[in-house]
């Protein structure tokens, strides 16, 4: 599989990152575990990865998270930046199958594939990678970071599963339509 | 929506540095700050950071709201660490000096306080450098200097597009939100969790659809002007690296290496005053 980086992908990276950064503040706090939120921006990441491929997904994940953290919180939590890229990368690898921009996403097979991939990607990112990086880089207590990681895993699956899927289906239906005309018999 | 940090034109020592120098400084600085738990180095970094912040002539007004937000996050995080692992410090420093008994199984120990002090000071080493970077770096100058040091210009350009479009997307977000609120949709914390998720999606839908349109328009315009046809391009805002840039780059590189050497010299990332 080859993924070309055309002009459209370059622009998508830029504008996708901008969207991701802006949506950083749109989050619904979960009061049990501090600094963990239900983040609609994950749905945006999933959308752009599935529509434009793995490079776009990974770049939006890294750049968007780092810039968003820097602009709004001014302290970049690096151990959570790279897992974000993993989610984008995983979903992007299957962009060819999803056919989002050609209008082929709105079938059961792709919706199921999308959700399986996003659960696997999120599991690698938040249950394994983020806590391990937290312990390696910041020496935080293990039970705290695994608790945070697991909560993030569940929340991200919920956000991507509902919001991400609906976004992709809706967009795919509109994008693939050649015209609104129907043949009459 | 919270006020965000953005570039402001001035003429100070820090503003005159090339965008690349500042980016490299930021990355190495954050890396050093993240890796080390050596308290003495962290204190030195804190002092240097405060110095740079002063030189860059940043007004408190520009950063105050962001700063307050960080303080809230930091406090929450420190409290959480204590409740999840009240003896993390004791494990790290391999000793235990109780100050007083709190409740149940929780004792306040000197080691824990010292460990959390380190976590706290790590925040303060990184914060000024990010403030300085964001308020003193011109986005298009950053893109040209990224390209100047070998980053492919397509990537440099997408960084620039991102920085360029953040205010636009933010405006659009506010517009859509106002329109939805005018239709009577509750956006504040009053609604239930499920309702808030649903209402948030009512903003994200139009936002994504209009962004996809924007991508089409911008990439068509770029294609018409022949973007990406040649392996190289020129920049309006190019600024060559001066000798001062080179001094700063060598300083931060040496500083980062020295930090690593001092930190890992005794095979342990922590400075241990309890031994």
Average pLDDT over residues B24-49: 87
- Residue pLDDT, tens place only, B81-96: 888 878 888 888 888 8
B218/A143 Cβ within 8 A = no
- Residue pLDDT, tens place only, A13-51: 999 999 998 888 777 766 655 566 778 888 999 999 998
pLDDT of residue A181: 63
Tell me if ipTM is over 0.85. no
Using a CB-CB cut-off of 8 Å, the residues of chain A touching B37 are 139
Structure tokens belonging to residue B136: 């003193």
Three state DSSP letters for B222-269: HHHCCCCCCCCCCCCCCCCCCHHHHHHHHHHHHHHHHHHHHHHCCCCC
Using a CB-CB cut-off of 8 Å, the residues of chain A touching B133 are 70
- Residue pLDDT, tens place only, B99-151: 887 777 788 888 888 888 888 888 888 888 888 888 888 877 888 888 877 78
- Residue pLDDT, tens place only, A145-170: 888 888 888 888 888 888 889 888 88
Three state DSSP letters for chain A: CCCCCCHHHHHHHHHHHHHHHHHHHCCEECCCCCCCEECCHHHHHHHHHHHHCHHHHHHHHHHHHHHHHHHHHCCCCHHHHHHHHHHHHHHHCCHHHHCCCCCCCCCHHHHHHHHHHHHHHHHHHHHHHHHHHHHHHHCCCHHHHHHHHHHHHHHHHHHHHHHHHHHHHHHHHHHHCCCCCCCCC
Average pLDDT over residues B223-244: 82
- Residue pLDDT, tens place only, B52-74: 888 888 888 878 877 887 888 88
pLDDT of residue B2: 43
d(CA A145, CA A109): 35
Asked whether the predicted pLDDT for residue B1 surpasses 50, the reply is: no
pLDDT of residue A172: 85
Report the C-alpha dihedral over residues A19, A24, A29, A35, rounded to 10 degrees.
Answer: 150
Those of residues 137-156 in A touching chain B at CB distance below 8 A are: 137-141, 143-144, 147
Nearest CA in chain B to A164: B201
A44 close contact with B: CB closer than 8 A: yes
Residue B50's H or E segment, with its range, is helix B39-55
Nearest CA in chain B to A26: B200
Count of CB contacts below 8 A, A vs B? 181
Give the minimum alpha-carbon distance from B103 to chain A in angstroms, rounded to a whole number.
20
pLDDT of residue B64: 81
A28 close contact with B: CB closer than 8 A: yes
pLDDT of residue A75: 66
B88 close contact with A: CB closer than 8 A: yes
pLDDT of residue A1: 41
Cβ-based burial of A65 (10 A; exposed 0-12, middle 13-18, buried ≥19) = buried
pLDDT of residue A17: 93
Query: pTM to 2 decimals?
Result: 0.77
- Residue pLDDT, tens place only, B166-216: 888 888 988 998 898 888 877 666 666 677 777 888 888 899 989 999 999
B77 close contact with A: CB closer than 8 A: yes
Give the minimum alpha-carbon distance from B251 to chain A in angstroms, rounded to a whole number.
22
Nearest by CB to residue A22, choosing from B37, B134, B169, is B169
pLDDT of residue A179: 56
- Residue pLDDT, tens place only, A100-117: 887 778 788 888 999 999
B4/A139 Cβ within 8 A = no
Average pLDDT over residues B225-249: 84
């Amino acid at each position: 599989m080859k993924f070309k980086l055309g002009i459209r992908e370059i622009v998508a990276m830029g504008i996708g990152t901008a969207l991701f950064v802006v949506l950083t503040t749109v989050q619904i706090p979960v009061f049990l575990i501090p600094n963990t939120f239900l983040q609609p921006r994950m749905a945006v990441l999933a959308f752009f990865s599935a529509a434009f491929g793995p490079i776009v997904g990974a770049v939006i994940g890294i750049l968007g998270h780092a810039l968003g953290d820097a602009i709004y919180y001014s302290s970049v939590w690096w151990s959570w930046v790279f897992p974000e890229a993993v989610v984008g990368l995983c979903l992007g690898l299957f962009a060819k199958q999803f056919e989002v921009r050609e209008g082929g996403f709105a079938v059961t097979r792709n919706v199921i594939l999308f959700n399986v991939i996003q659960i696997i990607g999120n599991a690698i990112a938040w249950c394994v990678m983020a806590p391990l990086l937290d312990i390696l880089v910041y020496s935080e207590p293990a039970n705290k970071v695994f608790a945070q990681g697991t909560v993030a895993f569940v929340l991200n699956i919920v956000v991507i599963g509902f919001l991400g899927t609906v976004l992709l289906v809706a967009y795919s239906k509109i994008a693939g339509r050649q015209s609104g005309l129907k043949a009459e018999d | 929506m919270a006020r965000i940090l953005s570039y402001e034109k001035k003429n100070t020592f820090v503003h005159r540095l090339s965008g690349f120098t500042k980016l490299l400084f930021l990355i190495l600085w954050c890396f050093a700050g993240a890796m080390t738990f050596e308290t003495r180095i962290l204190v030195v970094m804190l002092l240097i950071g405060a110095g740079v912040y002063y030189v860059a002539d940043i007004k408190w007004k520009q950063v105050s709201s962001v700063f307050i937000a960080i303080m809230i996050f930091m406090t929450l995080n420190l409290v959480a660490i204590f409740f999840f692992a009240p003896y993390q410090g004791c494990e790290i420093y391999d000793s235990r000096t109780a100050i007083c008994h709190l409740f149940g199984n929780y004792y306040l120990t000197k080691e824990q306080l010292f460990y959390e002090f380190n976590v706290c000071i790590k925040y303060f080493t990184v914060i000024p450098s990010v403030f300085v970077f964001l308020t003193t770096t011109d986005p298009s100058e950053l893109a040209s200097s990224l390209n100047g040091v070998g980053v492919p210009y397509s990537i440099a350009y997408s960084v620039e597009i991102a920085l360029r479009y953040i205010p636009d997307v933010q405006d659009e977000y506010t517009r859509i939100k106002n329109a939805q609120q005018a239709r009577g949709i509750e956006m504040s914390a009053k609604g239930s969790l499920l309702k808030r998720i649903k209402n948030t999606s009512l903003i994200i839908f139009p936002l994504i659809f209009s962004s996809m349109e924007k991508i089409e328009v911008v990439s068509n315009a770029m294609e018409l002007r022949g973007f990406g046809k040649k392996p190289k391009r020129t920049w309006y805002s190019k600024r060559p690296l001066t000798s001062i840039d080179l001094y700063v780059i060598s300083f931060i590189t040496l500083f980062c290496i020295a930090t690593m050497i001092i930190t890992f010299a005794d095979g342990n990332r922590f400075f241990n005053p309890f031994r």
